[in-house]
Amino acid sequence: MRRALLLLAFSPAPLWAQAADLDIPVAAADHFPHGISVKGRVYTDRRGLTLYGMDMRAATGRTGQPAIYCSGDCLARWEPLLAPRGAPVSPVPRAFGGPRTEAAAVKPASDNPDWTVMEGPAGPQWVYKKVHLVFTRKDARPGSTEHDGADAYLWNSLKYLPPPPKLVAPPDVAARLVDGAYVLADAQGNWLFSPKDSDCADPCAWRPLATGMVRRAVGQWSVRHTADQAQWLYRGKPVYRADPRQPVPADGVALTP
């Protein structure tokens, strides 16, 4: 018999405040199960209602109980996001009070590993990132996130951050997520940019991205030899470095993957 426990009266102090204390994890993929999409920065259902995760880490941390589900009065306010019929159901995750299981026990319900299915209080239900039992708010309007952080961060809107791009680039170039979008930086964290129009005026005060010992092209990156050193070009334009504590110069454009 499936156990469904009533929500208890929780302390108002957030013990696991996702929105305040935890970094939002990037998505594993940029495609989602049927009926789930992204609007702006949050996941939504087919009606455009924001998806909220009941953070089982927060619930377990407050109550000391091995598992706690939304039931009774809670189900009058929150609607479980049920999985399609026949979706593979995984064992209850450890964050939900389940036993220690091997990764192989998690059954993929889609080709995006962020989304799995477990037996919830109203039937097979979507779980996000193995710790968020997924619901929508029954009295919400499409696009509203007004219940984000409700019940001292027990409920959090499921926010989407795109997965890292696959780069073909010099070894000291990486993509960094800034305000929801990826930009390119060097190994020291300097932002990489190219001039908007012509090259840097002579004498140039910008710091070029030198190739070091590398002298061969890499994907869309090529090498320009100057009198002083070899410099990287990206998509045909010379690349310079900007101090991460300062914005990219007004006559420069930050590099994106």
Q: Is 105 within 8 Å of 10 (Cβ atoms)?
A: no
- Looking at the fold, whether 153 and 227 belong to one and the same domain comes out as no
Domain membership flag for residue 92:
yes
d(Cα 134, Cα 127) in Å, to the nearest integer? 6
Output the CA–CA distances (angstroms, integers) from residue 6 to 10, 75, 94, 123, 137, in the order listed: 12, 10, 19, 16, 18
Q: What pLDDT was estimated at residue 214?
A: 85
- Looking at the fold, whether 145 and 189 belong to one and the same domain comes out as no
Give all strands (DSSP E) within 4-131, no chain letters.
37-39, 42-44, 52-55, 78-80, 115-120, 123-128
Residues of the chain predicted below pLDDT 70: 1-22, 60-68, 93-105
Q: What pLDDT was estimated at residue 229?
A: 85
Q: What pLDDT was estimated at residue 70?
A: 82
Q: What pLDDT was estimated at residue 11?
A: 30
By residue range, what is the domain housing residue 32? 18-157
The first and second tokens of residue 138, run together, are: 């029954």
- Looking at the fold, whether 126 and 241 belong to one and the same domain comes out as no
Domain membership flag for residue 58:
yes
181-21-64 Cα angle (round to 5): 135
- Looking at the fold, whether 109 and 50 belong to one and the same domain comes out as yes
Q: What is the pTM of this model?
A: 0.76
Q: What pLDDT was estimated at residue 61?
A: 62
- Looking at the fold, whether 115 and 186 belong to one and the same domain comes out as no
d(Cα 110, Cα 133) in Å, to the nearest integer? 16
Domain membership flag for residue 165:
no
- Looking at the fold, whether 26 and 151 belong to one and the same domain comes out as yes
Q: What pLDDT was estimated at residue 107?
A: 72
Domain membership flag for residue 236:
yes
Q: What pLDDT was estimated at residue 122?
A: 85
Domain membership flag for residue 4:
no
